């Protein structure tokens, strides 16, 4: 039998909810900084973006690898959840696909630094890659299927193949971020999927 009174349980739940919100805010800030400055960005830059002290970040994530992995998982979930929402709210399935691919590119920028941040933990990286495939390939497939059904793109594009192609186009950014824009090339790739317009 519990000796905790209801009035004690509510503040505990509230504290947990606040802590979870704070963690999500911190991860969103870290993801933004990683996209613009890379996974080696100073922790103080992330702390400033999140509006917290550096000690708060280290309390949640003792090492940079812990933070990068948490951001990776956070972005996978954000991408997975965004697919159905975009499909429901965008002007068309193709518009939803384009918006989702834009989020996916932001995620890939973070993902490319993950292996270096994790260094020798290849098994951990492999597990995260499997998690990424399991969560995101079905979402991409749903968006592709909807665009095909709407007559906006040609059929026959495999979701995992498309995601890999986008990933390969994003790799060039690592060596020349100021001159190489993967979004322009990904836009060309997506245009290639579109159904030819009747003349």
Angle at CA of residue 150, ends 83 and 182, nearest 5°? 50
Name the pTM for this structure: 0.77
Q: Which domain holds residue 14?
A: 1-62
pLDDT of residue 15: 60
The residue from 26, 41, 62 where one domain ends is 62
pLDDT of residue 23: 86
Let me know whether 91 and 151 are in one domain. Answer: yes
Let me know whether 106 and 158 are in one domain. Answer: yes
User: What's the distance, Cα to Cα, between the start and end of the chain in Å?
Assistant: 75
Domain count, the chain: 2
Model confidence band, residue 46 (pLDDT cutoffs 50, 70, 90): very high
Let me know whether 99 and 196 are in one domain. Answer: yes
Task: State how far the Cα of 187 lies from the Cα of 98, in Å rounded to an integer.
Answer: 8
* Residue 126 pLDDT greater than 90, yes or no: no
What burial class does residue 94 get, using C-beta atoms within 10 Å of its C-beta: 0-12 exposed, 13-18 middle, 19+ buried? buried
pLDDT of residue 47: 93
* Residue 133 pLDDT greater than 80, yes or no: yes
Q: What b-and-e string marks burial along 20-30, b requiring 16 or more CB atoms within 10 Å of the CB?
A: eeeeeebbbbb
pLDDT of residue 92: 96
């Amino acid at each position: 039998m519990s000796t905790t009174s209801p009035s004690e349980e509510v503040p505990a739940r509230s504290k947990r909810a606040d802590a979870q919100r704070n963690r999500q805010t911190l991860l969103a800030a870290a993801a933004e900084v990683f996209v613009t400055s890379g996974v080696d960005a100073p922790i103080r830059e992330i702390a400033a973006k999140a509006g917290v002290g550096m000690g708060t970040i280290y309390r949640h994530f003792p090492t940079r690898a812990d933070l990068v992995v948490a951001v990776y998982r956070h972005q996978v979930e954000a991408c997975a959840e965004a697919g159905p929402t975009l499909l429901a709210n965008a002007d068309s399935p193709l518009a939803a696909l384009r918006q989702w691919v834009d989020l996916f590119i932001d995620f890939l920028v973070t993902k490319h630094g993950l292996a270096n941040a994790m260094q020798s933990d290849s098994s951990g990286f492999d597990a995260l890659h499997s998690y990424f495939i399991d969560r995101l390939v079905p979402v991409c497939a749903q968006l592709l299927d909807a665009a095909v059904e709407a007559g906006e793109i040609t059929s026959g594009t495999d979701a995992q193949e498309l995601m890999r192609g986008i990933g390969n186009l994003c790799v060039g950014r690592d060596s020349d971020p100021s001159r190489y824009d993967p979004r322009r090339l990904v836009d060309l790739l997506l245009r290639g999927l579109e159904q030819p317009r009747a003349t």
